[in-house]
A and B are shown apart, each in its own frame.
Chain A
Amino acid sequence: MRGGYNFTINKNFVIKNTISYLAVTMLSALLTGSCTSVNITRYYHRHQSALDSIQHTYKTAYRIRPFSLEFTDHSFRRVSVEILTDSLKYIYEFGPGEEAALQDSLRKYQLDVPAIDRLITQMRSMHCAWVNKLDYYSLSGEKHLLTYISLWPRVINRPFRNKQYYIIAYFSEPQFFDTRGELMTGRRVRRIRKINAEIYNRISDTVCYTLSDRFR
């Protein structure tokens, strides 16, 4: 009789414990997920002027000649530049102490050297790993370009895990989003749009973000 009573107590205890463990786990998962999304939006708003400035400088310099900039190392000292001409894409990489060579190369292809110098400084200060233009196509086949900025804020990296990058996409015109804020293909065709294989979320009508394990 006594043994049976004890068994009932233990069973209730186990059930209660299981429920509380489940609740804690689910809550943490929920918080982790929401923190990620909140953080990028918050990060963008906190650094909006710097990020918008990167985008603006890049966009202006890109008009003269298409190019992309990338930092290839952890310390943001090695810069790689891809310069697009009608016939070839020139890919150069410059390390510390090779600033003169970089400027010579930029000058050779008639790029805006002061603007790109400024852009490199801005990118370095924001830990921006890559800036580029990506093309995407509407369902009717119309070509559009967006500015793609990859950021590597070190705070979100943990040991033995893939590096995580904040990707900020600047569109030239307002986009369509679903009720969860995910980027859609258009107003009529309600389909989630992927860019570089990632789903994007809304920051504003023309700016979106995603979290990715690669910067390009």
Chain B
Amino acid sequence: MNRHRTHTLWIAFILHRFSGVALVLFLPLHFYLLSMVLTDPETVDQLLHWTKHPLVKVAEFGLVFLLSVHIFGGLRLMALEFLPWASWQKTMAAFSVAVSFLISCTFYLSAV
């Protein structure tokens, strides 16, 4: 990584960008699968069988993390732009990652 980018808030930026793109790629697939409940319920049942696979559970952990980090990262950016300036920007970024990790871990533990 270029050395002008090695600081917390640039990493927070790229995490927000990456999670956004990943969710954009995931959501059409997700909605497609949901629509199949109406059009092709047998295939959906077969596919849902896969969710018991440990690898899929890890992937779900990742997905919940991305979703959560994008939500909290977005709230952080809205606070940055619309609230009076706060000096604890790095803390906010760290907080959004920490809360997301907590949420996705909780999700993972309840899934396994």
Do A and B come together as binding partners?
no
